[in-house]
């Protein structure tokens, strides 16, 4: 954003394993921005394992984002997938059952499609790139990495395969791909950006080699279809009708979509009747928020410094009264839309963190 490569990016993280060996072969977060990203990525863990079959279930990630990811307002969506192994040629019924259980495909014939057809559908929705690190293991044949790269080139096209050797170079490569495809920079101009931020010569050469075939991308505007618009209107109409229903019926409402924070904040504001913090408490909150600045831990709903933080069963921390208001009506997470229980637990760790930062700031002022 600082370099103006993109105007208003949001990120969804995904961790991929092997569906035939791993317990968690597909971990996916909602899209988030700013401080939300810390909470989202902290939920993903590195399982390891994966077997010795030279394959990971990359195609399942593509399958998910084709079928279960809605980005109606996106203008230039990207899909970066990093790895060093082959993907499975097909998606089996076993894989779908293990990962997704009962679900509905967007395309009736999806279960019969090869992985290459899934990648084709994904490229209609995103600007897809594969960041490839050479596969190196003791039992590997001399030409095995060539086999892996050729499979990816056949699926995505050689201009979308970004070959690199240093894992830490992936951020420079991703930023460069965005800068070039968005039209914000040429490759030469991006090299100057890397030099300005003090990147070493060897890293720059590696990044340039990875990006040499990247060109300005076609802008993929994901516009809502007529069916999607009508469905959205039906849901909103249903929400409006529910306001006039008895309290017990309101509590059983289920939404067939993920919630966005604008909707959640508006709902909380309209329904939170027990916001009875004293004026002194609110004034102190405002003062501490100014002192903490960018370090202020904030409730994702209220976007304000915590006064009484509570951990919900979705693993996120919210302002106690805000999340209580939400849970009085719904049995879903306000961040993901997934079902969750209503048990809350005070998060003393965040209050300790706030006090530590305030104490450090006080000592700096005193010095």
What are 177-228's pLDDT values in tens digits?
A: 999 999 999 999 999 999 998 999 999 999 999 999 998 866 555 555 555 5
Residues of the chain by 3-state class (helix, strand, coil), percent to 5:
45, 10, 45
Q: Where are the domains of the chain?
A: 14-211, 254-366
Look up the pTM and report it: 0.59
Q: How many residues does the chain have?
A: 367
Better-scored residue on pLDDT, 129 or 356: 129
What are 251-261's pLDDT values in tens digits?
A: 333 333 345 67
**pLDDT winner (highest mean) among 118-122, 315-319, 359-363:** 118-122
Q: Which CATH architecture has domain 14-211?
A: 3-Layer(aba) Sandwich (3.40)
**Domain at 254-366, CATH from 3.30.40.10, 3.40.50.2300, 2.170.150.20, 3.40.50.1820:** 3.30.40.10
pLDDT at 51 over 90: no
- The pLDDT, as a whole number, for residue 226 is 56
List all residues 6 or more positions away from 157 whose beta carbon is below 8 Å from its beta carbon: none
Least confidently predicted of 135-139, 157-161, 336-340: 135-139
Residue 229 CA, chain-centre distance (Å), reads 24
For 182, the token pair is: 């968005």
pLDDT at 247 over 60: no
- The pLDDT, as a whole number, for residue 258 is 42
Q: Quick check: 131 and 164 in contact, CB under 8 A? A: yes
- The pLDDT, as a whole number, for residue 46 is 86
Parallel, antiparallel or unpaired: strands 78-83 and 127-132: parallel
Better-scored residue on pLDDT, 366 or 202: 202
Percent of residues, the chain, with pLDDT higher than 90: 39
Give CA–CA dist 2/175, Å, rounded.
12
Per-residue pLDDT, averaged over 99-126, amounts to: 77
Give exposure, 275-298, as e/b (b: 16+ Cβ within 10 Å).
Answer: eeeeeeeeeebeebeebbeeebbb
Give CA–CA dist 169/155, Å, rounded.
24
Average pLDDT for the chain: 82
Closest CA to 337 of 326, 347, 325, 348: 326
Give CA–CA dist 254/322, Å, rounded.
19
Count helices and strands in the chain by DSSP H and E runs: 14, 10
Percent of residues, the chain, with pLDDT higher than 70: 79
């Amino acid at each position: 954003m600082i370099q103006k490569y993109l105007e208003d990016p949001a990120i969804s993280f995904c961790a991929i394993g092997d569906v035939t060996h791993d317990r968690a072969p597909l971990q996916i977060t909602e899209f988030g921005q700013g401080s939300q990203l810390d909470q989202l990525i902290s939920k993903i863990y590195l399982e390891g394992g994966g077997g010795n079959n030279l394959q990971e279930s990359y195609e399942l990630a593509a399958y998910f984002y084709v079928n279960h990811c809605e980005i109606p307002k996106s203008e230039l969506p990207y899909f970066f997938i990093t790895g060093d192994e082959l993907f499975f040629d097909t998606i089996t019924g076993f894989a779908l059952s293990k990962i997704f259980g009962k679900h509905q495909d967007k395309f009736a014939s999806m279960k019969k499609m090869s992985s290459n057809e899934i990648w084709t559908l994904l490229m209609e929705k995103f600007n897809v790139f594969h960041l490839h690190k050479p596969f190196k293991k003791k039992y590997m044949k001399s030409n095995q990495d060539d086999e892996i790269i050729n499979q990816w080139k056949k699926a995505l096209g050689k201009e979308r395969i970004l070959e690199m050797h240093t894992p830490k170079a992936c951020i420079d490569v991703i930023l460069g791909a965005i800068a070039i495809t968005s039209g914000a920079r040429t490759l030469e101009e991006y090299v100057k950006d890397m030099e300005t931020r003090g990147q070493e010569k060897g890293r720059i050469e590696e990044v340039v080699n990875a990006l040499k075939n990247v060109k300005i991308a076609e802008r993929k505007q994901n516009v809502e279809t007529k069916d999607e618009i009508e469905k959205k209107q039906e849901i909103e109409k249903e929400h409006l009708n529910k306001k006039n229903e008895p309290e017990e019926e309101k509590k059983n409402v289920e939404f067939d979509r993920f919630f966005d924070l604008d909707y959640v904040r508006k709902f909380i504001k309209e329904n939170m009747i027990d916001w009875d913090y004293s004026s002194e408490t609110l004034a102190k909150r405002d003062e501490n928020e100014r002192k903490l600045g960018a370090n202020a831990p904030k409730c994702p709903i209220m976007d304000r410094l915590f006064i009484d933080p509570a951990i919900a069963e979705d693993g996120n921390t919210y302002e106690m009264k805000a999340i209580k208001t939400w849970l009085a009506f719904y049995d879903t997470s306000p961040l993901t839309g997934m079902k969750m229980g209503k048990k809350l637990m005070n998060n003393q760790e965040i209050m300790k963190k706030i006090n530590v930062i305030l104490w450090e700031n006080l000592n700096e002022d005193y010095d």
